[in-house]
Structure 1
Amino acid sequence: MKVQIVINGKKRQLAENISLQTVMDENLAAGGRAVAELNERIIDKQAWNETMLKENDVLEIVAFMGGGSK
């Protein structure tokens, strides 16, 4: 079965019983740093593996990038 969620404003179909950790791993570059906001609540990184996504969840992924101006 599939569940529909919204990731950064775009509807996505994902496997049922998928963890936030799996989605974050799939959406970040290796070693990337990010914050996950699920249904308007920041989820602590230690809880990503045990946080299961469900139908109609809204996930915002904010990735941090290095660099800056001179």
Structure 2
Amino acid sequence: MQIVVNGEAQEILSECTVFQFLENKAVTLKAAVVELNGKILTQEHWQSTFLHADDRLEILIFMGGG
């Protein structure tokens, strides 16, 4: 199944939760903000929200610096 992540099409093998997808991509979860189909998805919903074909996922990672 295909989804769009940060503007790029990606193939995933089966439906998975947002949390599973982020873990698989080794995303630093504490520093991430996720937008799914144009709406911010809070971390408390990552484990219960499944990705579906043609979903659009934007992942922002915040980094500290000086």
| TM-score of the superposed pair, with normalisation by structure 1 | 0.83
Higher fraction of strand: 1
Which of the two has higher C-alpha Rg? 1
Stretches of 4+ aligned residues off by more than 6 angstroms: none
1:11-70 per-residue CA deviation (whole Å, 9 max, x = no partner) reads 0011222110011123314x55110000000011011011000000000000010113xx
**Unaligned stretches of 5+ in structure 1?**
none
Distance in 2 (alpha carbons) for counterparts of 1:10 and 1:17: 18
Distance in 2 (alpha carbons) for counterparts of 1:32 and 1:45: 9
Percent identical:
35
Alignment of 1:6-21 (within 5 A): 6-21=4-19
RMSD: 1.3
How many residues align structurally?
A: 65
